[in-house]
Structure 1
Amino acid sequence: MECLPDPTSLARKLGNTLIEYHNTEESEWRVAKETKEVTVWRKPSKEFSGFLYKAEGIVKEEPNRIVDYIRPGPFRLHWDSLMTTMSIVEQFEEGCCVMRYTTAGQLWNIISPREFIDFSYTRQYEDGLLSCGVSLDYGDTRPDFVRGFNHPCGWFCVPTKDDPSQSLLTGYIQTDLRGMLPHAAVNTAMAGSLVNFYSDLKKALNS
């Protein structure tokens, strides 16, 4: 297992990687799932053999409050239906921390519960915020969980030009669930969980 990283250099590299994803040409994406409120695209990941997913939708709230519900903290565990436990392993300055969390089984437990240890970083982006993360090979693995790995991922949240009381929330997720899993099951779970993420978040913000 690796040592904890230097938070400043990792945060800078992580932020730059997410901005690179955010500037990817539209022609490179293919629609994976679409609802009235959310569109999910995907493209082959450069980090591993799976896909980089992009999700986008409008949320009727300002960026600071939305990101408070997304980043590691007291809100996230209470509304995210996929997350079952969460704890802060290390807290750094400048919006950085290391978190350990577990996720529920998916698709009738074809995908068993997973555990992740992620470095998380939140920074200003344009008129809003970027909250991003990447997994670390750090700490002991719990026997009841498969250790998953999030390659660079994150959420851009900026107010819309027409109505600053609502925000455009754009996420980039590339998760290696690991274990012996059918590719079709992983693709279905990833797209579906991103759509559910938006609906769960909106319910929490309106409660």
Structure 2
Amino acid sequence: MEYREKAEKAGEKLMEYYKATDWKISKISQEVSVENFEKEVTVSHKQSAEFDGHIYKAECILDGEPDEIIKYVIPAPFGVRESWDKTIKSSEIIHSEDEDFFIVRSQTHSSAMGLISSRDFVDAVILKHLDDDGIVCTNSISIEHPDCAAKDECIRGFNHPGGTFCVPEPGDAMKTKVVTFLQSDLCGMLPRTLVETALPNTMIDFFIGLKTAIDNDLLHKPPNADDKA
């Protein structure tokens, strides 16, 4: 299928970024407002090979096994992302195959104190297990889909190859290094400095929300659409 092939190719590109060593640190946060969150979140960046912007990488070590943590990252019905990620206003899986490939449409809330308005994305996402390393990862890229015309109330954005790697932590089976990649073209008339400030902060907020969700064991609680961690 065309969309699945695009997600597969995005995964190949993402692996190149995962193995790259020429990252520059953008931000290190040790002041995340979650009780007992002692591990820092490191956000790095490098020039994207896909567009005139940066790809961002954020990483942190969290409690839990890779197969379980990845379920916090993917949307319902396969995961629980919407129950804790406060950047997401809405999301809907419009097509899926065997629980390892799906097309999701999502809309974000406005950010940066309203300076960045709501964005709309349509992404092809593939879930992969890299057996040699024990890594579980998502690989995704934005696509055009005939059933997903742009919404009038928000701007259509484009996500270049991105995703999240859940990597077993050597020597501790109950800890996972989570590495997430983001290279979003938010489109519209936005100053580059605004985007380069907003995206690293968004990635730190991602980890704050993710850790809170894991601590609250949201994966095993009944869904409640009105209660986000």
Question: Displacement, 1:134?
Answer: 0.5
| Equivalent in the alignment of 1:40 | 43
- Secondary structure (helix, strand or coil) at the match of 1:202 reads helix
Q: How does 1:21-60 map to 2 (within 5 A)?
A: 21-25=17-21, 28-36=22-30, 37-60=40-63
The match for 2:16 among 7, 15, 20 is: 20
Task: Please say if residues 8 and 139 of structure 2, whose CA atoms lie closer than 8 Å, have aligned partners that are also in contact.
Answer: no
Check whether the contact 2:7–2:141 (CA below 8 A) recurs between aligned residues: no
SS of alignment partner, residue 165 of structure 1: strand
Structure 2: gaps (5+ residues) = 31-39, 217-229
- Alpha-carbon deviations, 1:117-167, whole Å to 9, x = none? 000110102213011210012221110010010000011101100211010
Structure 1 residues 15 and 94, CA, compared in 2 at 3 Å: closer, same or farther?
farther
Q: Provide closer, same or farther for how the CA distance between residues 181 and 206 of structure 1 changes in structure 2, counting only shifts above 3 A.
A: same
Mapped partners of 1:96, 1:85: distance in 2 = 19
Q: Does 1:155 align with 2:164?
A: yes
1:85 is aligned to: 90
> Is the partner of 1:10 in helix, strand or coil?
helix
1:116 is the counterpart of 2:112: no
Q: CA deviation at 1:87?
A: 0.4
SS in 2 for 1:164: strand
**2:128 maps to amino acid:** R
CA deviation after TM superposition for structure 1 residue 85, in Å: 0.2
**Seq. identity, %:** 33
**Which of structure 1's runs of 4+ aligned residues deviate more than 4 A?**
none
Cα distance between partner residues in 1 of 2:57 and 2:89: 23
Q: What do the CA deviations read for 1:86-126 (whole angstroms, capped 9, x no partner)?
A: 10111123600100000010111100000000001101022
Is the alpha carbon distance of 1:82 and 1:94 closer, same or farther for their aligned partners in structure 2, counting shifts above 3 Å? closer
- Structure 1: 5+ residue stretches without partners: none
Instruction: Compute the TM-score of the two structures, normalised by the length of structure 1.
Output: 0.93
- TM, length-normalised to structure 2: 0.84
